[in-house]
Structure 1
Amino acid sequence: MRIGIVCPYSWDVPGGVQFHIRDLAEYFIRLGHDVSVLAPADDDTPLPPYVVSAGRAVPVPYNGSVARLNFGFLSAARVRRWLHDGEFDVVHIHEPSSPSLGLLTCWAAQGPLVATFHTSNPRSKAMIAAYSILQAALEKISARIAVSEYARRTLVEHLGGDAVVIPNGVDVDFFAKAEPKPEWQGDTIGFIGRIDEPRKGLPVLMRALPKILAERPQTRLLVAGRGDEEEAVESLPAELRSRVEFLGMISDEDKARFLRSVDLYIAPNTGGESFGIILVEAMSAGAPVLASDLDAFAQVLDQGAAGELFTNEDADALAEAALRLLAAPERLAELRERGSAHVRRFDWSTVGADILSVYETVTAGAAAVAAADDERAPGLRARLGLARD
């Protein structure tokens, strides 16, 4: 099958949607499909052979964050060229409601279209305002996927229609088989995310840290991600700042080793999350998870059975839960076991097969419509007095 996948966000700025698209493309390539991904990218960004650059992206505030999107006449021309050259059996658009390549592709594409909606935002004024513009484009979509029930709810409430829920995927074995790194082991708690993006929750964790260190002074917080490290610790007393180690951006291999090494992974995100891929990665690596009680996180963690939850934005609740867990090795072992079993439902062997089934359904439907049109065509030509070529 010739599969075209559209990424709305810049390929050179890591994020959950980009990782999902990358892993999905590579899963299908391993199965023998012909896959091309169209994505915004700076000219000097090294790209995998299956990614086609749609040009430089620009930063735009979107869903409580800053997304790097690509839109305009030049982008539209590149979309049309990519569609023409690809001759795809199916085109899979991610986030078609964002002002980026997905929407442009909806306008330009002919044939089977599948769309995945990642955003969870129950009060999106932008989506409400853009409804009339989006509706005509979205009507061309053959099948809709939402990565969670909360992303599906956002779609239904703002744009109408419905979607099948297929979660984000993870290569579970990649994380499960990673080797721990000795220097990251031993009384460590971990955080991965953009340091300077408040909704990722690092400020909440920093407010909780003094209480954690007061009872467990040997504990270290390991932080992986880009951002201003000095600003991140400025709220901490000076004598505690040495207990925070910043690792900067880390590779996928080191992320897996990080998650295999820490005693407890903490996800203090405050909102704007439709899924929680880092939770799935942490469980895949066998890391016990403590996360804020966002609806999407609760769903990923099986309502607290596969990982513990604390009250969102409550630093005291975070500290108390972390201290209780770190003092209970048997509970940490139980969370590792439950998380490792629960996470198998998110493996690409399951998720990828479900998405491929959607592709096969829409392409079969398009073929049936084309065949029906061919059957009607001779009678129509005869009634119009037209000869067959």
Structure 2
Amino acid sequence: MRIGIVCPYAFDVPGGVQFHVRDLAEALIRQGHHVSVLAPADEEMDLPDYFTVVPGAIPVRYNGSVARLTFGPRVAARVRRWLDEGEFDLIHLHEPITPSLSVLALWATTTPVVVTCHTALVRSRALQIAYPLVRPSLEKIDARIAVSEDARRTVIEHLGGDAVVIPNGVYVDGFASAEPDERWTGTPDAPTIAFLGRLDEPRKGLPVLTAAIPTIIERFPGARFLVAGRGDAGRDAAIEALGDLAGSVEFLGSITDEEKASLLSSADLYVAPQTGARASGSSSSRR
């Protein structure tokens, strides 16, 4: 089967949806399908051959985050060309009403369509604006997937109809076989506590961890905190809030897939104090 997958979010800044798309594509390829992924990205990015990239994504505040999206007449023309050249049997759109490539593909395609919705929202001005634009095309959708019950409720409330809940898959082998790194391995007197997430997005929970660190250190004076993720503003705010305790936190910056697995294998405790606005439970393969 020839399958076209559309990701609305740019691969320049990694995120859970992007890597769900990548992993799904590779799983389908291993099953013998021909797969092409259309996604925003810099043309010089090192992506697999099955990607078709659309440059020119711009940052847009969306659902408590900053998403890099692309839209406009030129982009629409590239989407139509990708659809024509692909001769797909099935189109799989992710986040079908996020104003980016998925909306443009939904407008243009005459091929059977499956959509996966990752986002959980109670109210969304962006969705209210986008809905009239995509409403005429919603009848093209043949099957809806939601990655969580919260995402399913968003589908019902904002898209109409229902969705089958299929949680994101996780490749566990790489984590199960990961070797601990002595840099991140704790001891009974100095346990290590790991955090993964974008540091400048409060919903990821770094401020929650920062507020808890004084209490943790009071009980475990040798505790060491390993914080991985991008976001200079979030890092600086955490350092300022911690004051003299900032020396107990090591900011690792962005880490690779292999380093992420090793970090989780090494730490004594992983904390994920997300505060909401997450539907999928998916985690970025590279923070």
With normalisation by structure 1, the TM-score equals 0.70
Counterpart contact for 1:41–1:57, Cα < 8 Å? yes
Secondary structure at 2:60's aligned position in 1? strand
Counterpart of 1:285 in structure 2 is none
Counterpart of 2:151 in structure 1 is 151
Instruction: Report the Cα offset of residue 43 of structure 1.
Output: 2.8
Query: Which amino acid in structure 1 is aligned with residue 16 of structure 2?
Result: G
What does 1:320-335 correspond to in 2, within 5 Å? none
Counterpart of 1:246 in structure 2 is 251
Query: Which amino acid in structure 2 is aligned with residue 192 of structure 1?
Result: L
What does 1:211-250 correspond to in 2, within 5 Å? 211-228=215-232, 229-238=235-244, 240-250=245-255
What does 1:166-245 correspond to in 2, within 5 Å? 166-186=166-186, 187-228=191-232, 229-238=235-244, 240-245=245-250
Counterpart of 1:86 in structure 2 is 86
Query: Which amino acid in structure 2 is aligned with residue 235 of structure 1?
Result: A
Distance 1:158 1:128 in 2: 8
User: Runs in 1 of length 4+ with deviation above 3 angstroms?
Assistant: none
Instruction: Report the Cα offset of residue 165 of structure 1.
Output: 0.6
Secondary structure at 1:121's aligned position in 2? coil
Counterpart contact for 1:196–1:232, Cα < 8 Å? no
Counterpart contact for 2:11–2:18, Cα < 8 Å? yes
Query: Which amino acid in structure 2 is aligned with residue 116 of structure 1?
Result: T
**Consecutive unaligned residues in structure 2, runs of 5 or more:** none
Secondary structure at 1:273's aligned position in 2? coil
Counterpart of 1:260 in structure 2 is 265
Question: In the TM superposition, what whole-angstrom CA distance separates every residue of 1:68-89 from its partner, at most 9, and x where no partner exists?
Answer: 0010001100000100111111
RMSD: 1.4
Instruction: Report the Cα offset of residue 156 of structure 1.
Output: 0.3
Counterpart contact for 2:43–2:54, Cα < 8 Å? no
Alignment of 1:112 with 2:117, yes or no, is no
Question: In the TM superposition, what whole-angstrom CA distance separates every residue of 1:313-364 from its partner, at most 9, and x where no partner exists?
Answer: xxxxxxxxxxxxxxxxxxxxxxxxxxxxxxxxxxxxxxxxxxxxxxxxxxxx
Counterpart contact for 1:7–1:94, Cα < 8 Å? yes
Between Structure 1 and Structure 2, how many residues are aligned?
A: 279
Q: How high is the sequence identity, in percent, across the aligned residues? A: 62
Query: Which amino acid in structure 2 is aligned with residue 217 of structure 1?
Result: P
Counterpart of 1:5 in structure 2 is 5
With normalisation by structure 2, the TM-score equals 0.94
What does 1:119-158 correspond to in 2, within 5 Å? 119-158=119-158
Counterpart contact for 2:107–2:134, Cα < 8 Å? no
Counterpart contact for 1:6–1:92, Cα < 8 Å? yes
Structure with the larger RCO, 1 or 2 (CA within 8 Å, 6+ apart): 2
Question: In the TM superposition, what whole-angstrom CA distance separates every residue of 1:238-289 from its partner, at most 9, and x where no partner exists?
Answer: 2x1111011111110111111111111111111110022249x9xxxxxxxx
Please say which structure displays the higher CA radius of gyration: 1
Distance 1:219 1:92 in 2: 45
* Greater helix share, structure number: 1
